[in-house]
A and B are shown apart, each in its own frame.
Chain A
Amino acid sequence: AQTVTQSQPEMSVQEAETVTLSCTYDTSESDYYLFWYKQPPSRQMILVIRQEAYKQQNATENRFSVNFQKAAKSFSLKISDSQLGDAAMYFCAYRFGGATNKLIFGTGTLLAVQP
């Protein structure tokens, strides 16, 4: 069964600094997708970035980038130039590319941004 592990329940970063959130996953599949979602106190789930497993190039979205290590089954999120608005719960998620389509979430990392 596929699993997603986020080993950091809480992280803290100074404003304007860089922080990396860790995520590992377990799967025997070769075709899958990985995601990072942000959940601010408003409870809304916001897609931050996604990575297709067949792409070797790491995805980037403005200040957000990932380090995708397929062999190691690792998918970390780097936030550069952290801003106060980045404070939120961050969830890593995995989805098999085949017919099952289920999205499996990690337990989340709560990120605090210090002014």
Chain B
Amino acid sequence: IAGITQAPTSQILAAGRRMTLRCTQDMRHNAMYWYRQDLGLGLRLIHYSNTAGTTGKGEVPDGYSVSRANTDDFPLTLASAVPSQTSVYFCASRRAPQGESPLHFGNGTRLTVT
């Protein structure tokens, strides 16, 4: 079934540790995104990539980095996790950065930083 796969589903992480959240899509979408969801704040864009080889900063990029070495994968790395990064993280993709193509979401990763 075509879609977006995120891993892990959930994770408890000690503060200061490094963590990479994985995101893979098999729809050959050009644009990919990382959001974090926090109660009362909705979803906020962390980083995005319009096409393989390019990335951009969203609303809340500090403490996170991304890479887009190929079309399918868009990992999100927390270099040194802090408790404020406790959140649910969603990866999403679209066929193209512009136009009417809808946004597809993964099922999210629940991350707890202790």
A-side residues, CB < 8 A to B, are 4, 6, 9, 33, 35, 42-45, 47, 50, 52, 91, 93, 97-99, 101-108
List B residues at the A interface (Cβ < 8 Å): 31, 33, 35, 40-45, 48, 50, 58-59, 88, 90, 92, 94, 97-100, 102-103, 105, 107-108
Identify the 3 closest CB pairs spanning chains A and B, nearest first. A45-B105, A105-B42, A101-B97
Q: Out of B40, B45, B98, B99, name the residue touching A103 (CB < 8 Å).
A: B45
Find chain A residues with CB under 8 A from B99 CB: 97
Q: Which of A52, A103, A106 has most chain B Cβ within 10 Å?
A: A103
> Measured between C-beta atoms, what is the minimum distance from B48 to chain A in Å?
7
A102 to B50, CA, bound (A): 10
Please state if B43 and A101 are interface contacts (CB–CB under 8 Å): no
- Known pairs A43-B107, A43-B108, A45-B90; A108 contacts B42 (CB<8 A): yes
Complex Cα–Cα for A86 and B86 (A): 28
Could you jot down 20 A-B contacts, CB within 8 Å? A43-B108, A44-B105, A44-B107, A44-B108, A47-B102, A50-B102, A91-B43, A97-B99, A98-B98, A101-B48, A101-B94, A101-B98, A102-B48, A102-B58, A102-B59, A103-B92, A104-B45, A105-B35, A105-B44, A106-B42
Main secondary structure of the interface of A (DSSP, over half): loop
User: What distance in Å separates the Cβ of B98 from its nearest Cβ neighbour in chain A?
Assistant: 6
Per the bound structure, the CA–CA distance linking A98 and B98 in Å amounts to 6
Evaluate contact between B42 and A99: CB separation under 8 angstroms.
no
Partner of B43, one of A33, A42, A98, A105: A105
| Smallest CB separation, A112 vs chain B (Å) | 16
Chain A positions within 8 Å of B42 at CB level: 4, 6, 91, 105-108
